[in-house]
Amino acid sequence: MTPSDRDATGLLTRPDHFVQLVSPTGERRADPEYDPWVADIDADALARLYRDMAIVRRLDAEATALQRQGELGLWPPLAGQEAAQIGSARALRDDDFVFSSYREHAVAWCRGVGPAELLTVWRGSAASGWNPFEHAVAVPQIIIGAQALHATGYAMGLTWDGSDAASIAYFGDGATSEGDVNEAFVFASSFDAPVVFFCQNNQWAISEPVGLQSKQHLARRADGFGMPGIRVDGNDVLAVLAATRIALDRARRGKGPTLIEAVTYRMGPHTTADDPKRYRTDDELADWRTRDPLARVLALLAATGTDTDALEHEVAEEAARAAAELRTAVTTIPDPEPMSVFDHVYAEPNTHLARQRDRYARYLAMYDETDAAASGAGGGAR
């Protein structure tokens, strides 16, 4: 063990291997360091985590189908990353604040974001689907890594306000090459900001493998910034929950940021516009299928006496109902009014935009009058 394997409190962070509490075949691996953090997760609690993962997997599949059917313009599927997103999101308190990228649908769902809110942006109906302050989830971020700085600034503000809440920044392996992410590490470390940097290393940044972003495990980078880095099996919901709880606990105790590298895999395309067959093999996909996040939880539950057939059946029915709600919700999202294109550019009155808005309204009205004249209702009005 090298010194970098331990943080200031002696916490083992294991950046070279990864923390795994449930093996892909469902064996519970004892871990004296991480087990205490999930001691409360009994069979019922584990079944609830399974339920979360099964429902978001079903919602994700439904959204992908809705895109294929033309109801959504685009969808970035989360398939394969259920444990990473559910395990981390279920570690959060209501007053913690999430700054996510564009793929954290499961995190948003855990925070109470509704089906129509989830789909609004992807249908192209509005610039955002929910009020960030209602769910403590920021506007999802498409500029890669930019949100890491926002989470850090928010966390600095928490400290100045004397709060023991924390923020969490979700980003991918590709984002770790961005300046913003590295600058966020510097600021968070220097100011002991209570932020968790949650990197879902899903192996691929569109077509670029993680090896192009880093020659070493991403969690190891934490050491250079003076914070602990935890490398965790991102397909193990229990290990992710434990790691995130550890990082949040550090944040709440004023110990500053933690980088978590959740090693997972994007089973689907980058988005519905992507064709992963062009850059990765069927063998690789088949290999990761054996490390499925849901299957291992079912296997563990079965081994410890839960009637998993009943559980699977019950959860599948619930997931089907949620998917049906999602399908109904998409049709309830209103189409935007043309003049709303000018809304919310500024918080205060703006003379230039007011003039432009007025002119466009006149332009649209000209066609209304033409239509009215054509129908005989407003002839000669001009």
- Whether residue 382 lies in the annotated active site: no
- Whether residue 279 lies in the annotated active site: yes
Helix residue ranges per DSSP H, the chain: 43-68, 82-89, 105-110, 115-123, 132-135, 146-160, 179-190, 210-213, 221-225, 237-252, 282-289, 293-303, 308-332, 351-374
Min CB(67)–other proteins separation in Å: 21
- Looking at 79, 139, 285, 329, which residue binds other proteins (CB under 8 A)? 139
Min CB(356)–other proteins separation in Å: 10
- Looking at 127, 273, 365, 372, which residue binds other proteins (CB under 8 A)? 127
Contact 41, 49 (CB under 8 A): yes
- Looking at 8, 43, 143, 374, which residue binds other proteins (CB under 8 A)? 143
| Interaction between residue 155 and other proteins (CB under 8 A) | yes
Task: Quote the radius of gyration of the chain (alpha carbons, Å).
Answer: 23
- Looking at 24, 76, 77, 153, which residue binds other proteins (CB under 8 A)? 153
At 193, list the tokens: 């900001």
| Interaction between residue 359 and other proteins (CB under 8 A) | no
Choose, from 279, 321, 355, 359, the residue flagged as catalytic: 279
For the chain, give the number of residues.
Answer: 382
CA triple 325-330-331, angle to 5 deg:
105
| Interaction between residue 186 and other proteins (CB under 8 A) | yes
- Looking at 40, 44, 161, 335, which residue binds other proteins (CB under 8 A)? 161
CA distances (Å), origin 212, targets 2, 83, 222, 278: 25, 25, 18, 17
- Whether residue 266 lies in the annotated active site: yes
- CA 345/CA 350 separation, integer angstroms: 9
3-state class percentages of the chain: helix first, strand second, coil last, to nearest 5: 50, 10, 40
Q: Which is nearer to other proteins, 15 or 153 (CB)?
A: 153
Q: Which is nearer to other proteins, 191 or 312 (CB)?
A: 191
Q: Which is nearer to other proteins, 14 or 150 (CB)?
A: 150
| Interaction between residue 94 and other proteins (CB under 8 A) | no
Min CB(99)–other proteins separation in Å: 8
What is the full DSSP assignment across 104-125? -HHHHHHTT--HHHHHHHHHTS
Min CB(207)–other proteins separation in Å: 23
Q: Which is nearer to other proteins, 1 or 347 (CB)?
A: 347
CA distances (Å), origin 151, targets 154, 181, 229, 323: 5, 10, 17, 31
- The enclosing H or E element of 98 equals strand 97-99
- CA 127/CA 342 separation, integer angstroms: 12
Decide the pairing of beta strands 208-209 and 97-99. Answer: unpaired
Choose, from 58, 103, 220, 266, the residue flagged as catalytic: 266
- Looking at 42, 68, 93, 190, which residue binds other proteins (CB under 8 A)? 190
DSSP state for residue 195 in the 8-state scheme:
E
Q: Which is nearer to other proteins, 13 or 176 (CB)?
A: 176
Q: Which is nearer to other proteins, 139 or 295 (CB)?
A: 139
Min CB(116)–other proteins separation in Å: 14
| Interaction between residue 372 and other proteins (CB under 8 A) | no
- The order of strands in the sheet holding 195-201 is 97-99, 167-172, 195-201, 258-263, 229-233
Size of the site for other proteins (CB under 8 A): 43
Site string for other proteins, 307-346 (x = CB under 8 A): ------------------------------------xxxx
- HSE, side-chain direction, 13 A CA sphere, residue 141: 22
Min CB(352)–other proteins separation in Å: 3
Contact 91, 248 (CB under 8 A): yes
Min CB(168)–other proteins separation in Å: 12
Residues 6 or more apart in contact with residue 145 via CB below 8 angstroms = 171, 175, 176, 178, 179, 180, 181, 184
Q: Which is nearer to other proteins, 8 or 353 (CB)?
A: 353
Which residues are known catalytic residues?
266, 270, 279
Binding residues (CB under 8 A) for other proteins: these are 97, 99, 126-128, 131-133, 138-139, 143, 146, 148-158, 160-161, 167, 179-180, 183-184, 186-187, 190, 343-348, 350-353
